[in-house]
Amino acid sequence: MTEYMNSKIGEAAGALYHRLEEGECSLNQIKNHLNSNGFDSQMALMAVGWLAREDKIVLNRGSNRWSVRLNE
């Protein structure tokens, strides 16, 4: 991975983390939030992966959607 991509994913993960401080989100809400901050949907999913790898978030699958919240 290039240093640039690593940096952009980290920026997206930071923006996502700050959003999740406000409360739980669906993946669609995450994509919309990050899109409004200049990140595409693929970058949003990479940010989710980044935070999951760092054990910062909890992913839950409901009947029709995934939800994401900060790990307490």
Q: Tens place of pLDDT for every residue, the chain, 72 residues?
A: 699 999 999 999 999 999 999 999 999 999 999 999 999 999 999 999 999 999 999 999 988 899 999 998
Buried b (16+ CB within 10 A) or exposed e, 12-31: bbebbbebbeeeebebeebb
How many domains does the chain fold into? 1
Which residue segment(s) compose the domain that 15 sits in?
Answer: 1-71
Looking at residue 72, what is its pLDDT? 85
pLDDT of residue 46: 97
Give the per-residue pLDDT at 4: 93
3-state secondary structure of 4: helix
Q: What is the CATH number of the domain that holds 7?
A: 1.10.10.10
pTM for the full model?
A: 0.91
